[in-house]
A and B are shown apart, each in its own frame.
Chain A
Amino acid sequence: MIDTPPAKIRIRGLHKAFGRKQVLDGLDLDVGRGESVVVIGGSGTGKSVLLKCILGLLHADAGSIQIDGEDVTNLGANQREAVSRKFGMLFQGAALFDSLPVWENVTFGLLAQHKIMRREARDKAIDKLALVGLGADVADLFPAELSGGMQKRVALARAIATDPEIVFFDEPTTGLDPIMADVINNLIIKTTREVGATALSITHDMASARKIAHRIAMLYQGRIIWAGPVAEIDRSGDERVNQFIHGRAEGPIQMAVRA
C-alpha cells in the first residue's frame, strides 16, 4: 500500500498499555482524505482505545498520530481543541446529554464553537435532524424518551452538525436490529461520503463494515495485521482475517473462554 500524501490521518508505531496489558503494540494506519476506513477486530482488541488516542481522550505511550500532517500526539489543551474542531464522533452508546432536549444535543457543538446564536439553534437542529430522517417533533423530546435507533440517529446528527472533516464511528450498529442497522449504515454513507468527509469506524459487524468501508483494516494483538480494499477482504490469504469475517470459533485466533 503506497502512502498518498498528505494522508488525513497517519498513525505510526502507536503504543498504549494499561498496567501490564499491552493493548496497542506498534500500530500503523493511514486514512486518506475522503476515505472511509473500517477497523475490524474482536472485542477487547483495543479498537476503542485506538479511537480515543486519536481523539486525545487517552494519551498514547509511544508513537505518533498526525492529522493533516500535523503531529497531534502530545498537544496542549488549546491546540488540542483546535484539532478537535475537525472531529465528529458517534459514540457506541450514543452518549447523548440526558439533561438536554434533542435540539440542544444536536447543536451543542455549534453553540460551543459559537458558530450559531442560541435563538437560531432550534431551527438549525431541525435541519440537521432531517438529514438523519427525523422529524421536527423529535426536537423537543429528551434522549430518554427515544428508542435506541432514534438515539443513534440523533447522535449521528450531533456528530455531523459541525460539518467535521473527520467523523469517527464507534460500533455504529451495535445493539440495533438488522434493518435499523442498515438504516444507520446508509445514513453514515450519506452523511460522510456525500460531503467528502473522512470516516474512521470501528466495528465487529461485518455486514456494516462491507457496506460503509472503502478500505478495511483488521486489528489483532495491538497491530494492524491486514489492510486492503473491501473487495479484497475475501482474498486476504490470512487465516486470522478469514476466521474473523466468517465468524468461526476454530482457527488461529483463540478466545480465552475456557471456564
Chain B
Amino acid sequence: MRPLQLIGRFVLSFLAATGQLVLFAASALGHCVRPPFYARSIGRQLIDIGYYSLPVVGLTAIFTGMVLALQSYTGFARFSAESAIATVVVVSITRELGPVLAGLMVAGRIGASMAAEIGTMRVTEQLDALTTLSTNPMKFLVAPRLIAGVLMLPALVLVADIIGIFGGYLVAVYKLGFNPATYLRNTIDALQTQDVVSGLVKASAFGFIITLMGCYQGYTSKGGAQGVGAATTNAVVSASILILCFDYILTELFFAR
C-alpha cells in the first residue's frame, strides 16, 4: 500500500498545484485586459525587464555567436564545408539560442527578483495592505509584470539576434580569416523571416512564463525569509524548465511537417 499511497499523494498534489497555477494565470490574464491599468507600474517594469537586462542578454548573445562560429568551423573543416558557418550561426541564433538563452538569463534575473519582491510583500502583509487600500494586488503587481514581460522579451531577443550574429561575424572574419563581404552575403542569404519571427514569438511566450512563475511563486509564498527563499528558487527553476519544455512544443508547432 505504502508506495501506491506515495504515488497517489504525489499525483494529487501535482494536479492541485497545476490547477492552482492555471487559475492564477487565468485571473492574471483577465486583469491584464480589464481596466484600470497602472501605467506607471507598467512603465517601471518595461524599463526593469527591457533596459536593465540588456547587458546580461547582450553578453550572453555575443559569446554564444562567437563560440558557434568557432565550433562549427572546427567541425565543418573536416568536410571542407566552412562556407556553411554563416548559415549555422544565423539559423541557430534566430531560431533557438537567441530566445532560449535570453529567456534563461532573464528568468534568473527577473523571475528571481519578482518572486523575492512579491514574496516579501506577502510575508510582510503588504499584499493585504494593498487590498485594504482599494487596490487589487493582481492588477497592481502581477498584470504590469506580465504585460512588460510579454512585450519586452521579443525586443531583447531581437537585440540578442543581432549581437549574436555579429559575434559570429567577428570570429569568422578576424580569427578564422573569412572574407567579410562573402560572410555578410552568406549571412543575409541565410536570414529567413520565418526563423526570426518564430524566435520572437517564442520570446513572447518565455516572457509570459518567466513573469508568471515569478509572480505566482512570490504571491503564494509563505513562512518568512525561508519561504521567500524557496519561492525565489522555485520561480527560477520552474521558469527555466517550462522555457525548455515550451521551446520544444513551439518548435514542433512552427517547423514540424
Contact = CB atoms under 8 A, between A and B. Distances in A.
Interface of A: 52, 55-57, 77, 81, 84-85, 87-89, 91-93, 95-99, 108-109, 112-113, 158, 162
Contacts of B121: 97
A89 B135 contact: no
Nearest to B125: A95
Pairs A-B, 9 closest by C-beta atoms: A109-B133, A95-B129, A95-B125, A89-B132, A112-B134, A112-B135, A91-B125, A95-B126, A108-B133
Contacts of A93: 124-125
Interface string B145-168: 000000000000000000000000
27 contacts: A52-B128, A55-B128, A55-B131, A55-B132, A57-B128, A57-B131, A57-B132, A84-B131, A84-B132, A85-B134, A87-B132, A88-B132, A89-B128, A92-B125, A93-B124, A93-B125, A95-B124, A95-B125, A95-B129, A97-B126, A99-B117, A108-B135, A109-B133, A112-B133, A112-B135, A158-B133, A162-B133
Nearest to A57: B128
Question: For B117, B126, B132, B135, which residue has the most chain A Cβ atoms within 10 angstroms?
Answer: B132
B136 interface: yes
Contacts of A87: 132
Question: For A55, A87, A112, which residue has the most chain B Cβ atoms within 10 angstroms?
Answer: A112
- The main secondary structure of chain B at its interface with chain A is helix
A113 B130 CA distance: 12
Given A77-B136, A97-B121, 15 more contacts: A57-B128, A57-B132, A88-B132, A89-B128, A91-B125, A91-B128, A92-B125, A93-B124, A95-B129, A97-B129, A97-B130, A98-B126, A108-B133, A109-B133, A112-B134
Interface string B109-128: 00000000100010011101
